[in-house]
């Protein structure tokens, strides 16, 4: 059995499992294509391949749960571009058929999954994207978040420079048993692409925190002006409203503070405790 065979079996099963056209998908069809009846939807899927391809792509997009399920088949192997192409070819030539079941009726529709949808599905799995071995070694089998974290690393598609690898390694080692590991990792990975390669992560995190606090100040200042004056007056006076997700921004500040504290020992730079009470 080749390295791709267990993965082929798992993906084939996923792609050919029955799909339920639930309320969420129906609303999408109504809002995007103005299709409401089962008859209209069937005709659309059967007779308008060029128009329906975007919707079919949505139906067969891999979810995180499936990625976590197959990660044990991926991370121990090294998938080359040739392996990925071979897997796509094997799936496409299998002529995969899926059933779409309509939730409010007993109606169903069988469709052959187009080759471009199979290819798109596989490429979204990032199979040939290699996660540094140093990071894999930290995530031992007895860690319940091992596969979820590996999927998180795989989907981020980082440029793993030595500096980035070292930073994420230290982050994992520090917060491995923390309940917020997934949340901390997600935000820190997103910041890795923002922080200049010549900028140390410590100074980069401090700079980012200052930026977030400035954004919050501008937002709160703008809200106070809006309460005092009307929007028309503010626009005429040259004041622009700043749109900030206040709760999310405060959360990001606290994550940075947590990393500054536990990873770098920068306790003097921590956000005042009373500030956190506004959203915790």
Model pTM?
0.81
Buried b (16+ CB within 10 A) or exposed e, 184-216: bbebbbebbeebeeeeebbebbbebbeebeebb
Chain segment 234-272, per-residue pLDDT in tens: 666 666 666 788 889 989 999 999 999 999 998 766 655
pLDDT tens over the chain, length 280 residues: 465 789 999 999 999 999 999 889 999 999 999 998 888 999 999 888 888 999 999 999 999 999 999 999 998 888 999 999 999 999 999 999 999 998 766 778 899 999 999 999 999 999 999 899 999 999 988 888 899 999 999 998 888 989 999 999 999 999 998 989 999 999 999 998 888 766 789 999 999 998 898 888 888 777 776 667 666 666 666 666 667 888 899 899 999 999 999 999 987 666 555 554 444 3
Q: Are 148 and 68 in contact (CB under 8 A)?
A: yes
| Cα–Cα distance measured from residue 250 to residue 232, given in angstroms and rounded to the nearest whole number | 29
| Cα–Cα distance measured from residue 263 to residue 209, given in angstroms and rounded to the nearest whole number | 15
Q: What is the DSSP string of 93-139?
A: TT--EEEEEETTSS-EEEEEPPHHHHHHHHHTTTTTPPPPHHHHHHS
Nearest one of 178, 158, 154 to 166, comparing CA atoms? 158
Chain segment 7-43, per-residue pLDDT in tens: 999 999 999 999 999 889 999 999 999 998 888 999 9
| Cα–Cα distance measured from residue 20 to residue 7, given in angstroms and rounded to the nearest whole number | 24
Residue 19 DSSP SS3: strand
Q: Are 278 and 250 in contact (CB under 8 A)?
A: yes
């Amino acid at each position: 059995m080749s390295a791709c065979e267990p993965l082929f079996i798992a993906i084939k099963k996923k792609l050919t499992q029955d799909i339920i056209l639930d309320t969420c998908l129906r609303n999408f069809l109504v809002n995007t294509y103005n299709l409401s009846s089962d008859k209209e939807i069937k005709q659309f899927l059967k007779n308008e391949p060029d128009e329906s391809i975007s919707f079919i792509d949505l139906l067969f997009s891999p979810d995180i749960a499936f990625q976590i399920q197959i990660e044990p088949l991926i991370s121990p192997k090294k998938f080359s571009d040739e392996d990925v192409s071979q897997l796509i070819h094997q799936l496409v030539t299998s002529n995969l058929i899926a059933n779409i079941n309509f939730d409010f009726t007993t109606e169903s529709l069988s469709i052959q999954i187009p080759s471009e949808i199979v290819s798109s599905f596989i490429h979204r799995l990032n199979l040939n994207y290699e996660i540094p071995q140093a990071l894999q070694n930290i995530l031992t089998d007895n860690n319940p978040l091992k596969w979820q974290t590996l999927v998180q690393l795989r989907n981020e598609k980082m440029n793993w420079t030595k500096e980035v690898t070292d930073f994420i390694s230290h982050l994992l080692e520090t917060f491995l048993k923390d309940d917020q590991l997934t949340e901390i990792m997600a935000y820190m990975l997103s910041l890795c692409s923002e922080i200049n390669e010549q900028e140390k992560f410590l100074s980069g995190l401090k700079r980012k925190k200052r930026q977030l606090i400035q954004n919050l100040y501008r937002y709160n200042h703008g809200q106070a002006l809006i309460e005092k004056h009307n929007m028309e007056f503010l626009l005429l006076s040259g004041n622009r409203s700043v749109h900030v997700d206040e709760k999310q921004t405060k959360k990001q500040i606290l994550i940075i503070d947590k990393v500054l504290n536990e990873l770098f020992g920068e306790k003097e730079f921590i956000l005042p405790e009373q500030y956190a009470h506004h959203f915790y």
